[in-house]
Structure 1
Amino acid sequence: MFCKNLSYTPKYATLIATITALCLAIGKLVVGAVSGSVAVLASAIDSLLDVGISIFNFFALKKSEKPADSRFNYGLGKLESLAATFEGLVIALSGVYIFYTSCVKLISSHEIESLQYSLGMMIFSFCITFCLVWYLQKVAKKTNSQVIKADVMHYKVDLLSNGVILCSLAAISVSGFDKLDAILGIGIALYIMFSAFRLMRESVLLLLDRAIDPHIFVRVQEVLENAPITSYHALRSRIVGNIIFLDVHLVFHPDITLLEAHRISNSIEEHIRALDVSLIWEINAHLDPYDDSEFDVISQQGRR
């Protein structure tokens, strides 16, 4: 019943993520301060960053959903990729800070106190983060939102780090080897920085108008090749959030009527949109009475 009542919109998802991260951050800060565990404190700082990122994402999504206007003819969908790039940068900086703090703790001797509180907090955090990742994955699958996809990757990293910290604290409670806490912090920091790089790379590619995924592009080509047209060329694509912009020149026989060519063009567009109904397709088909592909820059580059 609870799952049925959940909203699966990106803005609602960022709101849930913000509240969850804030609650976990407060709990981890209190427990980390009491116990002195660098791993728990590092996780608390990461959760605080999650709060800021989720708030930023909420407003970015709110702006990106505004319709196109006379100033932004294609809308503000790229704000999603911009927000994801910012999120990756913040994650990377948090990884650097955790790495530095862990190295300091490794060099200096420190002892973890009230270990049972740290264990309890990390068990609670792991369970809550697991539920959040499950929910965000469902939202990302339904909406194909770049921001939510970034959040999924981010909280998966949190889930992994929470799990590793939990195992580390359990090992410390058995062995008494406190430096394992700092060693674990270094490992988590390196993994966080690597994940941030992957996230920023994907977001920057989208800001640079990366073409659609190859497997979707091949299926679009199959639709065009099976269509009742003479040929096609100048096939281009780019992604903005969950919107795919597709341009193509369709070549028809010179004697075909405009009405018939328009009907075939509409049919082609319908078949392309059916390839993935979760995406919004903005298709711009140019109807040609002859093949002018020699003027197509992309076709010329492909023949070189």
Structure 2
Amino acid sequence: MSNKYRRLVRLAGYATMSLVSLMILTKIWAWVSSGSAAMLGSLTDSLLDISASLMSFMILGYALRPADDDHRFGHGKAEALAGLGQAAFIAGSACLLAFHAFERGLNPVAIKHSQTAIIVSLFAIVCTLALVAVQYYVVKHTKSIAIKADSVHYKGDILLNLAVLAAIILSDMGYMIADPIFAALVSCYLLYNGFEIAKESADHLMDKELPDDEKEAILRIATEHEQVFGVHDLRTRQSGKMKFIQLHLELPKDLPLWHAHQIAVEVMRAIEAAFPDEMDVLIHQDPVSSEHTVAANE
């Protein structure tokens, strides 16, 4: 795993911890001042954000370790574990917020010091936009599933803070029921986000195949070599940033061993050059006759 990958992932971690900590302090002040259920929902989300991000940051430290004797394929799957942990935190916060929204719906309470809550919501939106920009840059260059999970959630936080802003303004206009309604909508959104993150993390842990377009590109590159008759038994998976590719090349049966090995190396390098991600390509050479290949293709 490259030093650039480690540096970018750590940059995303430090940016997340710093900006979310700042937002938590301002939201505590706004919630205590206003008593808004929607603001409490935003505060709850931020508290769980920093808990999940801290856990992810610690797990990423383990995931960034190079392969060793006990983990020959590296430690990349720890990122998927971080994603599952985030999903659990998000689901828990959504349930707690839903209960609070229900209670506030039965017993509406007027929001106090609404101007403070509005200013804090605007400040949170600006901080979240800055954080998402940093995470977008990191995900673009690393494909980290843990950072991607964080980024998806914080993109949702922009909508969450906009919803809080709308709830406070409407409540200030006399529509007190808007506060618990928006809090309930936020809880539904959090549940949806948690499900999506858990699903993607589970795909990585269960060694789901790479997307069809990537597999088609691998097959096309392999068969473009003039001495490759065909390709079969393509298997793919991803662990963290690393993608693992296994395939069988069908080569002329009378090729010397050194020549067959050279062709496999050329195909491997062509596949690695076509993808920006780190790849571990394992190729097995199968000897076949040209007549057999022609017959199989007819």
Distance in 2 between residues matched to 1:265 and 1:70, nearest whole Å: 26
Q: Work out whether residues 105 and 177 of structure 2, in 8 Å CA contact, stay in contact via their aligned partners in 1.
A: yes
Partner of 1:116: 115
Distance in 2 between residues matched to 1:203 and 1:89, nearest whole Å: 12
Deviation at 1:18, TM superposition (A): 1.1
Deviation at 1:8, TM superposition (A): 6.3
Corresponding residue SS for 1:95: helix
In the alignment, does 2:219 pair up with 1:250?
no
Return the TM-score normalized by structure 2. Answer: 0.92
Corresponding residue SS for 1:9: helix
Number of residue pairs matched?
283
One-letter amino acid matched to 2:27 = K
1:281-300 superposed matches below 5 A: 281-290=279-288
One-letter amino acid matched to 1:288 = D
One-letter amino acid matched to 1:284 = L
One-letter amino acid matched to 2:220 = E
Distance in 1 between residues matched to 2:190 and 2:271, nearest whole Å: 38
Q: 2:223 aligns with which of 212, 222, 225?
A: 225
Partner of 1:141: 140
1:169-188 superposed matches below 5 A: 169-173=168-172, 175-188=173-186
Partner of 2:94: 95
In the alignment, does 2:199 pair up with 1:201?
yes
Corresponding residue SS for 1:211: coil
Distance in 1 between residues matched to 2:258 and 2:108, nearest whole Å: 81
Deviation at 1:10, TM superposition (A): 0.9
Unaligned runs of 5+ in 2: 1-5, 290-298
Q: Structure 1 stretches (4+) deviating beyond 2 angstroms?
A: 170-173
Distance in 1 between residues matched to 2:108 and 2:149, nearest whole Å: 37
Q: Deviations over 1:2-26 (max 9, x none)?
A: xxxxx96112211210111111112
Return the TM-score normalized by structure 1. Answer: 0.90
Q: Deviations over 1:92-117 (max 9, x none)?
A: 11111111111100101311100100
In the alignment, does 2:258 pair up with 1:259?
yes
Could you say what the CA RMSD is over the residues aligned between the two structures, in angstroms?
Answer: 1.4
In the alignment, does 2:149 pair up with 1:150?
yes
Corresponding residue SS for 2:288: coil
One-letter amino acid matched to 1:201 = K
Unaligned runs of 5+ in 1: 1-6, 292-304
Distance in 2 between residues matched to 1:70 and 1:224, nearest whole Å: 31
One-letter amino acid matched to 1:112 = I
Distance in 2 between residues matched to 1:8 and 1:110, nearest whole Å: 47
One-letter amino acid matched to 2:69 = S
Q: Work out whether residues 19 and 51 of structure 1, in 8 Å CA contact, stay in contact via their aligned partners in 2.
A: no
Deviation at 1:270, TM superposition (A): 1.5
Q: Work out whether residues 67 and 73 of structure 2, in 8 Å CA contact, stay in contact via their aligned partners in 1.
A: yes
Distance in 2 between residues matched to 1:179 and 1:172, nearest whole Å: 7
Corresponding residue SS for 1:229: coil
One-letter amino acid matched to 1:29 = I
1:23-38 superposed matches below 5 A: 23-38=22-37
Q: Deviations over 1:204-254 (max 9, x none)?
A: 011000011111111111112222212221110001011110111112112
Distance in 2 between residues matched to 1:162 and 1:235, nearest whole Å: 46
In the alignment, does 2:216 pair up with 1:238?
no
One-letter amino acid matched to 1:208 = M
Corresponding residue SS for 1:118: helix
Distance in 1 between residues matched to 2:213 and 2:19, nearest whole Å: 36
Deviation at 1:159, TM superposition (A): 0.9
Corresponding residue SS for 1:137: helix
Partner of 2:294: none
Q: Work out whether residues 219 and 231 of structure 2, in 8 Å CA contact, stay in contact via their aligned partners in 1.
A: no
Q: Work out whether residues 64 and 78 of structure 1, in 8 Å CA contact, stay in contact via their aligned partners in 2.
A: yes
Q: Work out whether residues 248 and 284 of structure 1, in 8 Å CA contact, stay in contact via their aligned partners in 2.
A: yes
Q: CA, structure 1 residues 109+39, in 2 after alignment: closer, same or farther (shift >3 Å)?
A: same
In the alignment, does 2:274 pair up with 1:275?
yes
| Fraction of identical pairs, as percent | 27
